[in-house]
């Protein structure tokens, strides 16, 4: 197996007194695409938020290329730059145009030159079919276009891993495909990614490995064929039935 990018070791996360992630361990390898599926409320978003050090954790460890990820890290900004996250809501700055949205963090946080990042941003925008929209404002874009901008913005930080949390859940059906295609392309390029989605066909197409999360822990994992054609647990079978 190739090098481990992300290692999660016995992670436990509680809110108040309720345990949301229970002793969860997981490794993500270089170039691997892992799709996390599971019922609503099972802890998928919380897991991604822990990986991005947006949550305090009760026990266990998360390491990115060996470096400890915690909310209290002195190098928190440095770590967060290595983790690209795209959410269900696009979170673009409404008062900035597309290009300025993308340039903000690479120039302000990473102190890269505007010219360099701009060149990269325009190339990436054109790859996702948005070359013409560089000067548009978020309000002038469709949901699918905004989500593609959000993906380009994450890519321009040169993250070591990309996290996607139900990025098509808020989109009209006709816009879902254009966003999923961008993610499929990233997978083809060998990007390391963790994807949370309810789009099962897409999950099957994009994943190297499927993880079924339930009650705060991994209940089942395997290749897409193993998981979708021959789920082992009753919980996974029941979950999959809701999509047929």
Q: 46 contacts which partner out of Mg ion, ligand ADP, none, CB within 5 to 8 A by kind?
A: ligand ADP
Which CB sits closer to ligand ADP, 101 or 197? 197
Residue 47 · residue 213 · CB < 8 Å: yes
Options 4-12, 38-46, 147-155, 208-216: segment touching Mg ion (CB under 5 A): 38-46
Residue closer to ligand ADP (CB basis): 121 or 194:
194
Residues across the chain: 244
Cβ–Cβ < 8 Å for 223, 210: yes
131 vs 123: CA distance, rounded Å: 8
Supply 211's token pair.
């993880």
Instruction: List Cβ neighbours of 114 (8 Å cut-off, separation of 6 or more).
Output: 103, 107
Least distance from C-beta 122 to ligand ADP, angstroms?
34
Here's the x/- map for Mg ion, 41-70, by CB under 5 A: it reads as ---xx-------------------------
Q: Which is nearer to ligand ADP, 28 or 36 (CB)?
A: 36
Helix (H, G, I), strand (E, B) or coil at 109: coil
Kindly state the smallest distance separating residue 98's Cβ from ligand ADP, in Å: 28
Minimum CB separation of residue 41 from ligand ADP in Å reads 4
Q: Is residue 221 helix, strand or coil?
A: strand
Residue 110 beta carbon to ligand ADP: minimum distance, rounded to whole angstroms = 29
Nearest residue to Mg ion on Cβ basis: 45
Helices 114-127/143-155 angle, 10° precision: 140
CB of 243 to Mg ion, least distance (A): 17
d(CA 10, CA 32): 21
Give me the residues that bind ligand ADP (CB under 6 A), please: 15, 20, 38, 40-46
Helix (H, G, I), strand (E, B) or coil at 63: strand
Q: Report the C-alpha gap between 70 and 79 in whole angstroms.
A: 9
Nearer to ligand ADP, 38 or 222 (CB): 38
| Residue 168 contacts Mg ion per CB under 5 A | no
15 binds, among ligand ADP, Mg ion, none (CB under 5 to 8 A by kind): ligand ADP
Give the nearest distance from C-beta 12 to ligand ADP in angstroms: 13
Of 28 and 196, the one with the shorter C-beta distance to ligand ADP is 196
Token look-up 């979950």 returns: 239
Tokens, residue 156: 């321009």
Nearest distance from C-beta of residue 48 to Mg ion, angstroms: 8
Cα separations in angstroms, 173 against 71, 119, 206: 36, 32, 19
Token digits of residue 157: 């930080």
Q: Which residues make up the interface to Mg ion (CB under 5 A)?
A: 44-45
């Amino acid at each position: 197996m190739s090098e481990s990018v992300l290692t999660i070791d016995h992670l436990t996360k509680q809110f108040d007194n309720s345990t949301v992630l229970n002793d969860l361990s997981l490794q993500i390898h270089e170039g691997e695409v892992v799709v996390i599926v599971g019922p609503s409320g099972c802890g998928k978003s919380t897991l991604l938020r822990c990986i991005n050090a947006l949550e305090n954790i009760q026990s266990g460890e998360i390491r990115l290329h060996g470096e400890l990820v915690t909310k209290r890290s002195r190098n928190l900004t440095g770590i967060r730059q290595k983790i690209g996250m795209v959410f269900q809501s696009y979170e673009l700055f409404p008062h900035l145009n597309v290009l300025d949205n993308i340039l903000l963090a690479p120039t302000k946080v990473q102190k890269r030159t505007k010219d360099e990042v701009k060149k990269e941003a325009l190339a990436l925008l054109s790859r996702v079919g948005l070359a013409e929209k560089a000067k548009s404002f978020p309000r002038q874009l469709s949901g699918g276009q905004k989500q593609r901008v959000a993906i380009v913005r994450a890519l321009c930080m040169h993250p070591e891993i990309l996290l996607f949390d139900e990025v098509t859940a808020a989109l009209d059906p006709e816009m879902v495909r254009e966003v999923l295609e961008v993610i499929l392309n990233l997978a083809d390029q060998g990007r390391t990614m963790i994807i949370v989605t309810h789009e099962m066909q897409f999950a099957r197409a994009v994943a190297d490995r499927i993880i079924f999360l339930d009650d705060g822990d991994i209940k089942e994992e395997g290749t897409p064929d193993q998981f979708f054609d021959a789920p082992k647990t009753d919980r996974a079978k029941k979950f999959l039935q809701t999509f047929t």
